[in-house]
Each structure stands twice: as C-alpha cells, then as structure tokens.
Amino acid sequence: MTKARLSPLTTPPRLLAIATGQGGVVTREQVRATKITNRGIRKRLQLGIWHELLGCIVPAPATYKSSSVASRKSSSGVASTAWSYDSDNVGNLPTIHGVSFPLAVSEGWAMKLRVGGKSAVISGITALRLDGLTPPPELMNGKAEKIVLAERGCFRRIAGVSVRALQPTLQPVQRHWQGLRYQSASDAVIDIIQEVSYERAIEWCNWALWKRFLTVRQIQKAIELRPSCGRKGLHRLRAALKYAKSGTRSEAELMLRRHLKRWKIREFVSDYPVQRAADTRPFARLDFAYPAGRLALEVDGYAYHSPLSAFQRDRDRQNALAGIGWSVLRFTWCMLKEDPEYVRRTILAGLAMCARRAAQRRELALSPR
C-alpha cells in the first residue's frame, strides 16, 4: 500500500505550533528550519496561503480587512487573493491551532522577533491597542506611531516601525501578554510624542489628556527622566507640556481656546475658580470666565460632561452660579466644529450684555438718591 503524500504547499504542524506560541507569527529563519525554501515561502505568499506582517510570516490566509483585494488565477491555475495589510484594522488574525490572535498581539510579536533580544518592549499604537485603547484614525500615519524599544546592540531596521533604545519610563514595564512586554498607555503616548511632527505631537497630547490617561505632571516627569532623548524628542515633549499647561483639558475646550485666540477675544481666563462668601473653598471651576462681567463659557465635550451623574452636577452648579449673579453660555463640540460663527456671535452678544449691565450700574451709582 502506498503511503499518502502531503501537498507540497501544506504548512508543517511544527511551524504552526511555533506560531501559536508567538502570537501567530514566525520568522523566515524559523520557516527555513522546517526545510521550506525561500522559493516555497514566496509561492505560499503569492497564492495567499500565508501572508506577511511587518517582515514576519503568518502561516495562514489573511482574513482581516484589505484595502485592495483582487482574485486571480496563478500560473498553475490555483485561485489566489492579493491582500494588502491595513494597519488601522483591529480585528483578529486567522485561527492557528484553534487560537485566534488579536492583530495588535501579532504586530507586537512580529516587532519583537524582528528586533531580536528578549528585553524588547512594545510601545506606540500597538501598546495602546494591547491596553484596550483605540486611537482615532486621523492620529495615525504609519511608521512614527509603531515603536519598539530594545537594548543597544539589538537594533535591526524594520520597515514601517521605529526602533529605539530603552528609556526610563513613568510606570514599570509590568504588562505582559504570554511573554510579550508592552508599555503603559501614558508611556506609549510619550514615546509617540517624541517621534512625530510638532503638530501631530500636540494632537496626540490633546487626545491623551482628553482620555485622562496622561497628566501635566506625567509630561513633566518624562522630561526629567529623559534629558538625553534627543533634541527633537525633548522639543516635542516641552511643546506638549506647554500645551497641556494651557488650563483646558477636553478636545472641545481646546478648540474653544483656539477660536477665542483667533477671534482676538481676550477677556476670558480658563479654569477659573468660583467661591461663595460663606464657603472656604471654590464650589465650581469654570471652563472659561470673564470675572469682571460674571460671564462664563462652558463646553460639553465628548468625555467630560457625558455621564448622567456629570450632567446632574453641571446643572446643580449652573443653578448655584445663577444664584450669585453669573450668566453661563454653553456650547457643544458640534457647535464649535460645525458652526463656529454662531459661537462667536453668541459670545460677543454676551460681552455686550455685560457692558450694558456695567453701564447701568454706573448710572445707578451716579444718580442722586
């Protein structure tokens, strides 16, 4: 009886076992160790039996979203699919040995294997995704936000990834995923800020402050811990610190601050404390305030005012402010984004009302009793 022969393109079980312990990816050296030649690797990639991820091999077809999918016939008549890797997708890679790996885990393992060295630490966008955070697509533009840290001497270039030396961190690197070490969310954003352009550094800082996993104190500490992170990196961190110290936190508040500056409306101060005569401490902090006219501007952003409990507190506070003579103008993120002219007119009308009140008070003060 003749022994059944395996297909020449079958993936060896030993390779699948290795991939299962490495987030679903293997290196080309590991593939060649199973007696598959470079030609065999290319053939499997061309036919879509395997696919490539950051220079490593995933020994399974690509099933996540593709920006370019084109079915075609190979020279041998085998149907195949051309896949292009979509870095914005956060779904799962194909199941290997009954295990389905999140894309961020596979990316992290691919970076670790390519860099080499057991001390490699994953940072940037991949670390954020491993921590359960998904940055908005407009913040991500490729290489600068994919970061892996390694000891000096372990550096290898990886297409689409920034490889940097290990640096002091705000929090100890204690996060693990089956042997994969990755940075905390605050450290990952600090690493991104050091890599990207000035404008994008401010946007990343804004998003992290808005999500409340990065604080002004943490940015200050990062500057103290990393004095030798390079002129560019230090400049970006200092710019982020200056921006974070502006006194506004949510994305909507930062947008209103930019509008006020562009409109040359200078009467308002941010994060203004309000205290009643009988109180020993402020009962409210206003997003923006014109103390002389007792006019406040409050912003309803995505995260800061959305829960029901926060909504109730805001209304109680607004009633208390009205009781001591404050007028409050409220704006939503949509108003600031889609109709800034309406916001400008409303603020100017509020300032005009303050001016009329001040004139009336002066007339009353001068009129004979």
129 and 184 in a single domain? The answer is yes
The torsion angles phi and psi of 80, rounded to 5 degrees, stand at -140, 170
The pLDDT, as a whole number, for residue 345 is: 95
Which of 94, 124, 153 is a domain's end point?
A: 94
229 and 255 in a single domain? The answer is no
85 and 33 in a single domain? The answer is yes
CA distance readout (Å), 354 to 50, 291, 324 = 69, 10, 15
Domain-located, residue 54: yes
61 and 140 in a single domain? The answer is no
Angle at 364 between CA 361 and CA 365, to 5 degrees: 85
229 and 277 in a single domain? The answer is no
Domain-located, residue 5: no
pTM above 0.85, yes or no: no
Domain count, the chain: 3
228 and 293 in a single domain? The answer is no
Give the C-alpha separation, 361 to 356, whole Å. Answer: 9
Token pair for residue 232? 């560019």
260 and 309 in a single domain? The answer is yes
Of 25-29, 34-38, 69-73, 209-213, minimum mean pLDDT range? 69-73
Report pLDDT digits (tens) over 265-311: 998 998 888 988 777 788 888 889 999 899 999 887 543 344 455 56
Domain-located, residue 107: no
Give the C-alpha separation, 173 to 22, whole Å. Answer: 19
Which of 61, 94, 127 is a domain's end point?
A: 94
Half-sphere exposure for 185 (CA within 13 Å, toward CB): 18
Give the C-alpha separation, 112 to 109, whole Å. Answer: 5
Which position has the token pair 């290898």? 156
Where in the sequence is the domain holding 291, given as residue range(s)?
A: 251-366
The winner for highest mean pLDDT among 41-45, 78-82, 99-103 is 41-45
Q: How many CB atoms lie within 10 A of CB 4?
A: 5
Closest to 180 measured CA to CA, from 125, 135, 98, 123: 123
238 and 125 in a single domain? The answer is yes
Domain-located, residue 122: yes
Output the DSSP codes for 331-368: EEHHHHHH-HHHHHHHHHHHHHHHHHHHHHHHHHHHS-
**Residue 304 is part of a domain; what is its CATH number?**
3.40.960.10
205 and 294 in a single domain? The answer is no
279 and 184 in a single domain? The answer is no
234 and 264 in a single domain? The answer is no
